[in-house]
A = this chain, B = another copy of it.
Amino acid sequence: MPLYNRFVLPEAQLDSLTVVLVSPRNPLNIGAAARAMANFGLRRLSVVAPFEPTWREARSAIGAPALLVNAMESETLAEAVANCTLVVGTGTLTRRKPEQPVVPLPDLAPRVSRELASGGRVAMVFGSEKHGLTREDLSYCHLLVEIPTDPLQPSMNLGQAVAVCLYELIRSAVSAPETQPATSAISITSAATSGRLDLLAGVIEETMQAAGYSPRAMQSANRHDLRLLLRRLSLSTQDNRRILGLFRRILWRLNRGHGGDRKSG
């Protein structure tokens, strides 16, 4: 029973968003990129100038997803993105002075959605594990997206970078629309009414007295604090019923143990 069955990009747009891996070397990374795509509902993968043995291995791995088996392959990035209207280069950009506009990843989604909504085709381009995207590669990009990593450890693993970027694109589609009311702890179940809280407070107070917890001088202050406490806890009806049951049992036992010297009946 997933929360997100309205999943996520309109069907027609799914095929307009391509992930492009440029010269990937490590079959595990290729597999991880493909897996992240499947997790976030994408299906068009394009691989540029892969290292052949690696690529064969990744593609023929047991359980390789269809999107890996069906991936497009091309010699050059130019070819891979030829039919795209928005090409987004990814990186962490600590060394190079960028020649294009740079968008922080958290601000990317609106730009991509707009492009897709207007019938465009978008490529998200990831460089090789070793060097990232070259200056030549970047020259095919309309804009660069920067993942906000720690300057002390800026370079991300390829599979993780793909996951984070795709999550960001999916994220806005998930978090913006329709409902999803402020997630409060109790919003699922019905909250206990004030009257029920008072009933509970009464039984707890009796228990306090029966257990000798609440000296006479403190009773009024304790009653006040207890009332506040019970409200602060946001008890559901069911919580309230359970706690009431427990305290009634305790009270009965305490009074029985003392031969009913505090309560008769």
Mark A residues whose CB is within 8 Å of B: 1-5, 7-8, 28, 32, 35-36, 38-41, 65, 92-94, 97, 101-107, 111, 143, 146-157, 159-160, 163-164, 167-168, 170-172, 174-175, 180, 183-188, 207-208, 210-213, 225, 229, 232-235, 239, 242, 245-246, 249-250, 252-254, 257-258
Contact = CB atoms under 8 A, between A and B. Distances in A.
Given A143-B185, A174-B106, A246-B213, A154 B39 contact: yes
A182 B262 CA distance: 46
Given A40-B149, A164-B167, A154 B2 contact: yes
9 contacts: A2-B151, A3-B104, A39-B153, A41-B153, A107-B175, A185-B234, A211-B250, A212-B253, A233-B233
Given A7-B151, A39-B149, 5 more contacts: A1-B97, A3-B93, A35-B160, A41-B149, A160-B160
A31 to B, nearest CB: 9
Given A39-B149, A148-B3, A180-B107, A101 B32 contact: no
A246 to B, nearest CB: 6
B213 A245 contact: yes
Contacts of A249: 211-213
A92 B93 CA distance: 32
Given A160-B160, A250-B207, A103 B183 contact: yes
A112 to B, nearest CB: 12
A146 B3 contact: yes
A148 to B, nearest CB: 4
A102 B225 CA distance: 30
A36 B152 CA distance: 12
A234 B143 CA distance: 15
Contacts of A208: 246
Contacts of A36: 156-157, 160
Nearest to A67: B153
Contacts of A160: 32, 35-36, 39, 159-160, 163
A38 B253 contact: no
A101 B183 contact: yes
Contact of A213 (B38, B153, B250): B250
Contacts of A242: 225, 229
Nearest 9 Cβ contacts at the A-B interface: A257-B257, A106-B175, A160-B163, A41-B150, A38-B153, A213-B249, A2-B151, A39-B149, A148-B174
